[in-house]
Amino acid sequence: RGPASVSPTGQDTGADPATAAQGCPYLTTAHGTRLQDSDHSLKAGRRGPTLLQDHHLREKISHFDHERIPERVVHARGAGAHGVFRGYGTAAKITRAGVFAKDKETPVFVRFSTVAGSRGSFDLARDTRGFATKFYTDEGTWDLVGNNMPVFFVQDAMKFPDVVHSVKPHPDREIPQAQSAHDTFWDFVSLHTEAQHHTIWNMSDRGIPRSYRMMEGFGVHTYRFIAADGTTSLVKFHWKPKLGAHSVTWEEALVTNGADPDFHRRDLADAIEAGAFPEWELGVQVFEDTEDQTVEGIDLLDPTKLVPEELVPVQPIGLMTLNANPTNYFAETEQVAFNPANLVPGIDVTNDPLLQGRLFSYLDTQITRLGGPNWTQLPINRPHAQVNDMLRDGMHQSAVHRGVAPYRPNSLDGGMPFEAPADERAFIDHPEPLPASVKERAHAASFDDHFSQARLFFLSLSEVEREHVAQAYTFELGKCFEETVRVRQLRALAAIDARLAETVAAGLGREVPEPAESPADVTPSPALSQVGGQWPL
Ligand code: HEM
């Protein structure tokens, strides 16, 4: 953890926050006045009424009244842990980021989450899981804000509020609280068929992991690595759990949610407390940074597509070990604020149209969620690198800034802070040529192909896993009230795999409709069609 008594500007704030909050053995007011009676309010006589004059009562009740902050708009329910990341040195040739240097150890904080449910929902919902990692590197904080599935529902940030509105509980009854089994979700994904690939991952066993410790993680988007000599490559991040990837069956999930809605957070905390520290290897798929940014017909800027590991293997670059539970859930797990825009020298973004929107969204939402713009000063969000940002004032400012000239250039504060020399410790935006602006979707074959990778995923599963997928669709669509929605989703399934559509349609007591059409007729490249297998039944 960061040096608690030092402000983000490197100044000594005079007190460790924990000591400042709980340093006295006696009960005090928030202002440090010792209190002799903790249980009774000040009344006019033994039988009241209570006097407004009781400053302790007013302070205690008022603070309690304001204990809750808004939950995250998505990923509200989560569990976190501290740990360490150790670089293997294998990425040193392709990125100058110091975090990957051989045997370099960097503290991390990870938060796992479900996406749709509220803070009080249950852990074993059928859902995507968040897998967000904050690396407190010497060169600034780097956040890898990923999921346990390698693709996303939508290709463009413009559609993110739509998909979230569709997956959140129905606006009238707020039902269901944490599952996809409802009309709005199936309405959206059957109309917006680029969501079908992510959806089939949700309907697979990946949607109900056995444990946070047994989940893969994916950066989803393609990022850019920049080497010391300035050469660039494109990468996709993968977390591989040492315990392997495991799931529960739907029946196990139902029973567990009833018996122990905290199953995943308990499992994580208990394992760490028992010294069974979970570990993940971080790996990258590396691609040449060519002009078309495409591999075997897959556009690397399309977040609804993955690049099969059989085509481009994942190369390990470091190991993460989670070895300490948070001391305080609110201060750490709730107040942690991730942001894919938190980058360090050697790691940069690409023009993926979904990622581009995320670069704005996180900081923006955290201004509401954490009450103003100064949440980088909260202990869990403090960089471990030195800071001198010229940002001033604002709600909940806790730094006592010195000097009179928070502007550049200045002569009154000796010209400080200086611009960093353009060496390996400075972040330099990667220069990308920009064409004319257009407000359209990319019409590359990859973006317009909505079904071939969903098929690829389905065919890569074992027989029993395919049965689980068919059962999940049957169960979920069986909960839909709208016949048009059900039929439209069956058409999408028919476009993914005929046998899958037949099995689900039979389960619902319906005929298989005509397959839905993809915006583009796409023939997967020969290399791609060899990945996966055939439906064995
Ligand atoms: C959380 C927006 C796509 C992973 C959030 C939050 C917002 C958001 C507003 C709440 C943050 C907070 O309150 O601190 C968006 C937008 C997206 C998008 C606008 C697309 C345009 C994605 C994708 C991934 C992802 C593609 C995975 C690769 C996460 C995770 C969290 C999160 C893991 C939880 C972080 C935590 O544990 O605090 N997102 N998101 N999001 N998002 Fe996204």
Record the tokens describing residue 533, joined without a space. Answer: 């297998």
Work out whether strand 232-241 and strand 223-226 pair parallel, antiparallel, or are unpaired.
antiparallel
So what's the ipTM on this one? 0.95
Please give the pLDDT value at position 532: 46
Q: Taking the CA of residue 416 as centre, how many other CA atoms within 13 Å lie in the half-sphere pointing to its CB?
A: 9
Give every residue of the chain whose pLDDT is below 50, as ranges: 1-14, 532-537
Q: Which amino acid is at 127?
A: D
**How far does Cα 70 stand from its chain's mean position?**
18
Ligand 1 centre to CA of 331 (Å) is 20
pLDDT digits (tens, 9 = 90+) for 425-465: 899 888 888 888 887 767 678 899 999 999 999 999 999 99
Ligand 1 centre to CA of 132 (Å) is 9
Ligand 1 nearest atom to the CA of residue 218, by list position: 28
Write out the catalytic residue numbers: 75, 147
**How far does Cα 450 stand from its chain's mean position?**
24
Please give the pLDDT value at position 527: 58
pLDDT digits (tens, 9 = 90+) for 67-117: 999 999 999 999 999 999 999 999 999 999 999 999 999 999 999 999 999
CA distances from 175 to 113, 118, 180, 390 (A): 20, 12, 10, 46
Ligand 1 nearest atom to the CA of residue 132, by list position: 33
Q: How far apart are CA 429 and CA 435, in angstroms?
A: 17
Q: Within 6 Å (CB) of ligand 1, which residues are found?
A: 72-75, 78, 111, 113, 130, 132, 145-147, 152, 157, 160, 220, 336-338, 354, 357-358, 361-362, 365-366, 369
pLDDT digits (tens, 9 = 90+) for 244-300: 999 999 999 999 999 999 999 999 999 999 999 999 999 999 999 998 999 999 999
Q: What is the DSSP letter of 499?
A: H
Please name which of 505, 454, 106 lies closest in space to residue 306, comparing C-alpha atoms: 454
Torsion of CA 188, 192, 194, 197, to 10 degrees: 30
Please give the pLDDT value at position 194: 96
Binding residues: 72, 111, 160, 358, 362, 369
